[in-house]
Amino acid sequence: MAVNPADSEVFGTLFGSDGMRAIFDDHAYFQRMLDVEAALARVQARLGIIPANAARAITAAARLEHLDLAALARSVRTVGYPVVGLVQGLSRAAGEAGRWTHWGATTQDIMDTALVLQMRQGLKLIREELLAIVKALVTQAETHRHTLMVGRTHLQHALPITFGLKCAIWLQPLLTHLARLAELGPRVEIVQFGGAAGTLASLGGQGVAVMEGLAGELGLAAPPAPWHVLRDGLAETVGFLGLLSGSFAKIATDVILLAQTEIGEVAEPYVEGRGSSSTMPQKRNPIASEYILAAARMVQGLVPVMQGAMAQDHERATGPWQAEWLALPQSFVLTHGAALHTRLIAEGLTVDAERMRRNLLADSGLSLAEAAMMGLAPQLGRLEAHHLVYKATALARASSLSLAEALAREPAVSARLNPEAIRRLTDPETYLGATSLFISRVLAKADAALGAGHSGPAAG
């Protein structure tokens, strides 16, 4: 029975993914520890530390089905860690060769290295979803490069933008996250092997050779020295997941706001029954976005747990290490769940371009007030232009006029601009500034990140 909804058979698909849970569940963790023990035996056999036939037997025995999980659970309850029971089970399964298992290692060596192997797999899954989201948002930005909508500041109409620009803004930090992810790997995919107190004294003069050999056997890097109490790489990983989930939450927040009935500019992809209400048949709630926000808040709440766990005492910690066990797997599961929801939105978002245009014009053109002011400023000066346009917006609101009509009633404006010039001045198509260029610049960065042609049509 699951206590955390992310691990629940009922709620699990909303908060996480089976793929990520399969990487971080108990069975996967124990198998990774067995993988590390087997790799250690093979390296030590090559170095002549243990017999070659012992390494072969240990490798053959290092399979989860050879463990008595009930006995392992009893051992963990007594010892507090799983490696003692795991090594006992592995030693029994290896027979006579069992006396050579875990040679020169300590519990944290095995557990940390197993965790690093899990993280490597987890980051690969994260990257796959992130790439898919990036590609989908590239398509959305290209498709809606010229789809007019109103930009909103402080939840109020501001200036015209395009939906393509909004998608490009969503996309921009995700490209940075791809770069962060590439940089993160070398800092976290590092073997842990230091023995009881980080000296490898039990292996005499061969300790470093074993550490480097174990790293090579597992496809990991070897550190200058063991990192038993140096947890910056793990904290950085969860920090990265917090940043990534925060960028997903930005998208989800915008989608929720744009999907409000009164706005109705976008909707999450339609799936029959999804987002429905038990009492209101008309409802189509933005469910994916809601769970993205929930996951992001939780992942970001776990970031300080991991950073706090960096304060580890002396050569081996007395509590902060265990806090990582609670925070790190959950961060991966929740982030991957948020990524799956974000991909669903990015690939299948319903966009109502006509509603966007109607909403843009719903304020009678007042969102073009800055355009009118800047158009008049060269002739009147900026302060006078601001004053006249301010008066015109007040008149438009009071008299149900459009901004163009209100401006035409201002003698200082009509004396300088004919009705057609005023119309052009308040046409949203003419006041998009560098919108298309910004889209192109983001898509060019996406080209570089994806290594394929996604720059779309030229700006203009």
Residue in the block written with tokens 């842990």? 192
- CA distances (Å), 412 to each of 377, 390, 406, 425, in order? 12, 13, 12, 15
Q: What is the pLDDT of residues 312-361, one digit of tens each?
A: 999 988 889 999 999 999 999 999 999 999 999 999 999 999 999 999 99
Q: Identify the CA nearest to 127 among candidates 335, 341, 344, 348.
A: 335
Active site residue 274: no
Which pLDDT score, from 0 to 100, does residue 455 have?
45
Q: What's the confidence (pLDDT) of residue 91?
A: 97
pLDDT value of position 1 = 62
Q: Enumerate domains of the chain plus CATH numbers.
A: 14-105+200-216 (1.10.275.10), 111-190+227-360 (1.20.200.10), 366-425 (1.10.40.30)
Could you give the CA distance from residue 323 to residue 252 in angstroms, rounded to a whole number?
Answer: 30
pLDDT at 334: 97
Residues 6+ apart with CB under 8 A from 460: 436
Q: What pLDDT is stored for residue 413 in this prediction?
A: 86
Q: What would the mean pLDDT of 218-228 be, rounded to a whole number? A: 97
**Hey, what are 252's tokens?**
């989800």
Give me the mean pLDDT over the 192-201 stretch: 96
Among 202, 277, 297, 358, the active-site one is 277
399 given a catalytic annotation:
no
151 membership: H or E segment, kind and range: strand 148-153
Find out whether 306 and 327 touch, Cβ atoms under 8 Å: yes
Q: Are strands 156-162 and 148-153 parallel, antiparallel or unpaired?
A: antiparallel
pLDDT at 351: 97
SS3 category, 357: helix
What are 272-314's pLDDT values in tens digits? 655 545 454 555 789 999 999 999 999 999 999 999 999 999 9
Given this model, what pLDDT does residue 283 score?
A: 55
Q: Which of 316, 357, 397, 424 is catalytic?
A: 316
Considering only residues 417 and 340, tell me which one the structure prediction assigns the higher pLDDT.
340
Ranking 10-14, 182-186, 325-329 by mean pLDDT, the lowest is 10-14
In this predicted structure, the answer to whether residue 202 has a pLDDT above a threshold of 60 is yes
The answer to whether residue 117 scores a pLDDT higher than 60 is yes
pLDDT beyond 80 at 21: yes
Of the given ranges (54-68, 88-102, 306-320, 370-384), which has the lowest mean pLDDT? 370-384
- Residue 454: is its pLDDT beyond 80? no
Average pLDDT rounded to a whole number, residues 8-14: 83
Q: Which residue has the tokens 């992810």?
A: 181
Question: How many whole angstroms separate alpha carbon 368 and alpha carbon 402?
Answer: 11
Average pLDDT over residues 114-135: 98
Which range among 128-137, 196-205, 354-363, 392-401 shows the weakest confidence by mean pLDDT?
392-401
pTM for the predicted model, two decimal places: 0.91
Q: Name the percent of the chain lying above pLDDT 70.
A: 95
Whole-number Å distance between alpha carbons of 442 and 450: 12
Instruction: List beta partners, residue 161.
Output: 149
| CA-to-CA separations, 418 to 268, 284, 297, 373, 374, in angstroms, rounded | 44, 47, 54, 16, 17
User: Dmax over Cα atoms in the chain, in whole Å?
Assistant: 103
Average pLDDT in the 186-212 region?
97
b/e burial code for range 430-441 (CB count within 10 A of at least 16 → b): ebbeebbebbbe
The reported pLDDT for the residue numbered 416 is 85
Instruction: Report, as an integer, the average pLDDT of 36-53.
Output: 98
pLDDT at 274: 57
Please give the DSSP secondary-structure letter assigned to residue 260. Answer: S
Element (H, E) at 39: helix 26-46
pLDDT of residue 272: 64
| Mean pLDDT computed over every residue of the chain | 92
Question: Are the C-beta atoms of 426 and 370 separated by less than 8 Å?
Answer: no
User: Where is average pLDDT lowest: 2-11, 235-244, 386-395?
Assistant: 2-11
> What is residue 109's predicted lDDT score, i.e. its pLDDT?
98
Burial bucket for residue 395 (CB in 10 Å: 0-12, 13-18, 19+): middle
